[in-house]
Amino acid sequence: MARVLIVGAGLTGSLCAALLRKEAPPPVHLTVWEEAGDSGGRMMTARSPYNPQSTVDLGAQYITCTPHYAQQHQSFYDDLLALGILKPLTSPIEGMVMKEGDCNFVAPQGVSSIIKHYLKESGADVCFRHRVTQVNLRNDKWEVSKDTGPPEQFDIVVLTMPVPRILQLQGDIANFPGGTPELPEADARTGSWRHFPIFFHLELSELGLGVFSLG
């Protein structure tokens, strides 16, 4: 059975896990490691310890679907709307810039409910407080070390954390087959980094997978 590790339990990591579960021929064992104590990444939702119904989104507060993304990813929005995970945003938000053709949505149970939905769909083993420090090639496997506990070996490693964190990793990842991946530059206007999955593999074709971007 092929073992696949996805590093990062934000939107990119959770959706990547769900798509791999759907598209990869079985048997595949999916594992997600997240360095924080919960899933969400930049789409984190906090709950009051006194009232679980009282929530606040600490990252994205609403989702904007542009005409371009609607054309590419309409099925994702349709599924989330049908399940009640997303609902149309009907009230204006102070400071929100509306552009022609844009549709805005909110998540009634908190924006992190989107991530939790995709993680549940993936059936992956999700481990929190696992901070990856090294990725090395050992006997035709990727040996992944974290800050606590022994290293583990995987057939495929998918990195979905922000690029600055990827650049901090040590080990053999700069010498993996195919050369060093081309990493994007920070957005000149916002200083932020675009999230996208980077696959480290030996023979990805053996699983029938393709490298894709979620950006």
Count other C-beta atoms under 10 Å from residue 55's C-beta. Answer: 18
Average of pLDDT values for 162-186? 67
Q: For residue 29, list its beta bridge partners.
A: 3
Please provide residue 128's backbone torsions phi and psi, each rounded to the nearest 5 degrees: -95, 165
Helix spans in 9-139 (H): 11-23, 67-82, 112-122
In this predicted structure, the answer to whether residue 190 has a pLDDT above a threshold of 90 is no
| Residue given tokens 């092929």 in the structure block | 2
d(CA 10, CA 115): 6
| Cβ burial, residue 68 (10 Å; 0-12/13-18/19+) | exposed
Q: How far apart are CA 195 and CA 197, in angstroms?
A: 7
CB atoms within 10 A of CB 202: 13
pLDDT mean across residues, the chain:
82
Token code pair at residue 51: 């009232």
pLDDT band at 209 (very low <50, low <70, confident <90, very high): very low
Cis peptide leading into 150, omega within 30 of 0?
no
Give the span between the Cα atoms of 20 and 30, in whole angstroms: 8
The percentage of the chain sitting over the pLDDT mark of 90, rounded to a whole number, equals: 46
Query: Is residue 192 scored above 70 in pLDDT?
Result: no
Which carries the bigger pLDDT value, residue 165 or residue 206?
Answer: 165
Place of tokens 């769900």: 18
